[in-house]
Amino acid sequence: MIGRLNHVAIAVKDLAAATAVYRDTLGGRVSDAVPQPDHGVTTVFVELPNTKIELLEPLGEDSPIARFLDRNPDGGIHHLCYEVEDILAARDRLIGEGARVLGGGEPRIGAHGKPVLFLHPKDFCGTLVELEQA
């Protein structure tokens, strides 16, 4: 079911500083910062030859990454995003296997304009998993 690794997300308190680290210190190719109000984050993508790094900063009052950053004030790896051929079929299969699909199970449009879902970290080796329609 899961396919390509679309991105690895890193949550940070200071997106500009993190972007400078990936651009200047690591020599990465970074995108502009894009506010994603529906998701409560602002994103920067670092394009790599084989995948992407998604830098995330909280946006707004009840950002879903706020408590993660309280627990990890220096930032940290927040989630992995895998591509799937059919996100609704993947969702139904996962629910059938007892996995917790977050956000009521309805896909939402993510940073790449495609439907995404999130799976509870407690069901996936302590790792927050995002699925993106390929």
Q: How many residues bind ligand LZKTLF4L (CB under 6 A)?
A: 24
99 versus 102: smaller Cβ distance to ligand LZKTLF4L: 102
- Is 57 annotated in the active site? no
Strands (E), the chain: 5-11, 29-30, 34-36, 41-47, 52-58, 76-84, 108-109, 115-119, 128-133
Residue 52, contacted partner among Co ion, ligand LZKTLF4L, none, CB below 5-8 A by kind = none
**CA–CA gap between residue 90 and residue 101 (Å, rounded):** 10
Q: Binding partner of residue 107 among Co ion, ligand LZKTLF4L, none, CB under 5 to 8 Å per kind?
A: none
Q: Is 68 in the site for ligand LZKTLF4L (CB under 6 A)?
A: yes
